[in-house]
Amino acid sequence: MLWVYSAVPFLLGCQTVSDTDTADIGTWRLVWSDEFDGSANTAPDPTVWTHDVGGNGWGNGQLEYNTDRTDNVRLTGEGMLEIVAQREEYEGNAYTSGRIKTQGLWTGGYGRYEARIQLPEGQGVWPAFWMLGADFDTVGWPTCGEVDILEMRGDNPYEVHGTIHGPGYSGGESIGGSLTSDQSFVDDFHVFRVDIDPEHIAWYVDDQLYFTARSGETGGMPWVFDDQYFLLLNVAVGGNYLDNPTDETQFPVSMLVDYVRFYERVQ
C-alpha cells in the first residue's frame, strides 16, 4: 500500500502493547474500552455513551438531524457499533444520523486513544472520531481544545485527516495533517489513533505515523491539550467542511466501529 503524508493547516483524540519507533517509545496498558458487545438493534451502553440530539447544523452548517433512535445508532449483535446516516425528512431536516459521546460519563488524559473503524463514502458524507476538552461546557470551543483523531470527506475515500483546534488556530486556521493511500479507506477496517503526551500529539493509521503536532508550533497561541477529554463518534451529512450530497449520493451509509480503547503509558 502506498502512503502519502502531508502536514498542513486545513479546515474544519490489562493488555499491554510495546512499540519501538522513535515517536512512540514505551509500554502501554489498556485501561478502558468499549468492545460494543450486545444484542442486535440495541443502543450502545448508556453508562458509557450519551447522544447529541438535534438538527441545528452543529456549528458547521451540517444538514442532518442527529437522533437517539436505533435506526441511526445501534449495536450489530456481532461486536460492533453502527452509525447510520439516512436520507429522510425528520424534524425539518432532510437527513438523519447519529452522534454519540462519553461526555459526563468518561474522560481520559495523556495516553493512546484508538478505534478500529470501517468508513462510509459518498459526496456529503463526513465520518469522524474525535475528542473535546472536558471543560467544554465552562470555557467553550475552541478554548477547550478539539482533537480530530479521524475525519474523512466521503467523496475522497483515499485520504484521511487529523487536526487540532484551539484558541487562535481553529476552523480554517486549524493545525493538521493528512494521509493519502492508493487503497480506499472504506474497503476494510483500519485502526485510527492518537498518542497524547505532554506538549505533543501524534496521529497514526494502522501503526503508521503520519503527523505530529507540538506545543511550540501554535504561532504563540496557547496549547490546550494537557487536560482531560471526552470522545465522540458521528457521521455528519454536508456542512462547510465538504460539498453537500447530490442525488447520486447513495444512502443509507454506515460507519462500523469494532472497538474504542484507551491506553496509558507504563514507565
Q: Where are the beta strands (DSSP E) in the chain?
A: 3-7, 16-19, 26-34, 50-51, 64-66, 73-75, 81-90, 93-97, 99-101, 111-118, 125-133, 146-151, 159-165, 175-181, 190-197, 200-205, 208-214, 229-237, 253-266
- Pick the catalytic residue from 89, 146, 217, 248: 146
Question: Cα(10)–Cα(28) distance, rounded to whole angstroms?
Answer: 31
**Among candidates 182, 113, 192, which has minimal Cα distance to 152?**
192
Is-catalytic flag, 146? Answer: yes
At 18, which amino acid appears?
Answer: S
Q: What angle do CA 156, 34, 28 make, to 5 degrees?
A: 90
Helix (H, G, I), strand (E, B) or coil at 212: strand
Is-catalytic flag, 121? Answer: no
Contact 249, 155 (CB under 8 A): no
- Pick the catalytic residue from 35, 91, 151, 248: 151
Helix (H, G, I), strand (E, B) or coil at 18: strand
The catalytic residue positions are: 146, 151
